[in-house]
Amino acid sequence: MPVDILIRDDDVNFFTEVSELDLAYSKLFPVIPINFAVVPFIVPSVTGCVQSKHWGSEKQYPIDTNRELVLYVKKLTGKYKCNIMMHGITHQYKFRKGVALAEFAHSDHSSRIIKESLAYLENTFSTNIIGFVPPSNYVSASAYNKIVKIFPYLFNVPSLKKISRPLTASNIWWWGRRWSSVIMDSLLNHRQRSLGVDLSSIDLSSRTDFNELFKKLKLIHEDERKVVIVLATHYWEMGGDSVDGTPMNLEFIRFVNSSLSEGINFINLDQLDAGVKNEKYSNIRVF
């Protein structure tokens, strides 16, 4: 059973409503673990995870002040082995010349601020946090150097623009390997670090063709090598329609069930960590 999938859901923050998480995943929680990338101190700016009426404020909203949400997520971590990761610090976007810049494009947080935010989040959810997801999947080289010293796992989305190979089993395998290394190869030109694991993700959205994705994963699954694939999604997108007009949450549930019936495994970050330590995955480089 060579493929393990880790579902990474981004954006849980002070403004998240429990009903939104329920709509997206309530049928899946008993079946697979969802890994939540959580924003500790959101500043509500242009983003799908905050209602537009709040945009433009400079105020920070600490997640622990939404007690209902914190209790709900804590229950998920205990009962269904969902793991929590840190998703930026404020997730604020700032505009320069009409362009929205992600948090780590306009702010160079100190290591102390990143560590304090991590301690706050671990304390709020009474859990150990080993993964970091940068907002908009963007980190500057400076931020990268700090983050990999604090978090064992850094999630990212690679640029797939360079990939123009035909769809064959061996090329799909090559893509899997490429996903795990492309960030280091293209974003950063310095390789002196030997810290952290860079986990590239496939971004799911309402434009995702889940049938195509399933076909690709099945091909990879038939390979003998053991790989882990990260699928990145957003709970707040799940209520919308996907490519064929079906609600995205239903498409996603169907995709998960098809994958499970093929023997594809869904894991949380703790399980991935154990697998990496046992050198289980051939597409993960520990650098």
How many CB atoms are closer than 10 A to CB 191?
A: 9
Segment 124 to 143, residues that bind Zn ion, using CB under 5 A: 135
Asked if 103 is part of the footprint of Zn ion (rule: CB under 5 A), the reply reads no
Decide whether 33 or 135 has the Cβ nearer to Zn ion: 135
Chain-centre distance for alpha carbon 52: 23
Stretch that binds Zn ion, among 3-11, 107-115, 160-168, 208-216 (CB under 5 A): 3-11
Find the shortest distance in angstroms from Cβ 137 to Zn ion: 8
Cβ distance to Zn ion smaller for residue 210 or 236:
236
Work out the burial of residue 138: count CB atoms within 10 Å of its CB; fewer than 13 is exposed, 13-18 middle, 19 or more buried: middle
Residues 194-213 binding Zn ion (CB under 5 A) are none
| Interaction between residue 237 and Zn ion (CB under 5 A) | no
Candidates 4, 9, 10, 237; binder of Zn ion (CB under 5 A) is 10
Q: Does 9 bind Zn ion (CB under 5 A)?
A: no
> How far apart (Å, rounded) are the C-alpha atoms in residues 206 and 223?
28
- Is residue 44 a contact residue for Zn ion (CB under 5 A)? no
| # residues contacting Zn ion (CB under 5 A) | 3
Shortest Å distance, C-beta 87 to Zn ion: 6
Shortest spacing between CB 11 and Zn ion, in angstroms: 4
Write out the E strands in the chain. Answer: 3-12, 34-38, 41-42, 61-62, 84-86, 94-96, 99-101, 131-132, 153-156, 197-203, 227-234, 265-266
**Nearer to Zn ion by C-beta: 10 or 20?**
10
Residues contacting 76, CB < 8 A, separation 6+: 29, 34, 36, 82
CB of 91 to Zn ion, least distance (A): 6
Q: Report the SS3 class of residue 37.
A: strand
Q: Does residue 11 bind Zn ion (CB under 5 A)?
A: yes
Structure tokens at 16: 């998240």
CA distance 162 to 167: 14
Q: Which residues sit at the interface with Zn ion, rule CB under 5 A? A: 10-11, 135
